[in-house]
């Protein structure tokens, strides 16, 4: 059996089954019970500091002056 035919048979059977299984696993993981809070936090993270700044900005340190 040549290489192309062997790889084609593998892709048509086991690889397809593996990819479908991975897809179903990702969907189940995304919609699992208890993940709603994590998804809501990720969805609203961009609006977290909308009414006030994220933090106090530190002033840049003054350059040291050498005495001549």
pLDDT digits (tens, 9 = 90+) for 3-54: 999 888 888 888 889 999 999 999 999 999 888 888 898 898 888 877 766 6
pLDDT band at 56 (very low <50, low <70, confident <90, very high): low
- How far is the C-alpha of 51 from the C-alpha of 53, rounded, in Å? 7
The answer to whether residue 22 sits within a structural domain is: yes
The answer to whether residue 64 sits within a structural domain is: no
Instruction: Quote the number of domains for the chain.
Output: 1
- How far is the C-alpha of 6 from the C-alpha of 12, rounded, in Å? 10
Owning domain of residue 29: 17-44
Confidence (pTM): 0.53
- How far is the C-alpha of 37 from the C-alpha of 31, rounded, in Å? 11
The answer to whether residue 57 sits within a structural domain is: no
Q: H or E element: which one contains 43?
A: helix 36-44
């Amino acid at each position: 059996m040549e290489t192309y035919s062997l790889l084609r048979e593998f892709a048509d059977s086991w690889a397809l089954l593996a990819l479908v299984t991975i897809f179903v696993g990702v969907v189940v993981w995304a919609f699992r019970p208890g993940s709603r809070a994590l998804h809501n936090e990720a969805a609203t993270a961009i609006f977290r500091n909308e009414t006030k700044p994220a933090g106090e900005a530190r002033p840049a340190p003054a350059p040291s002056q050498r005495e001549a």
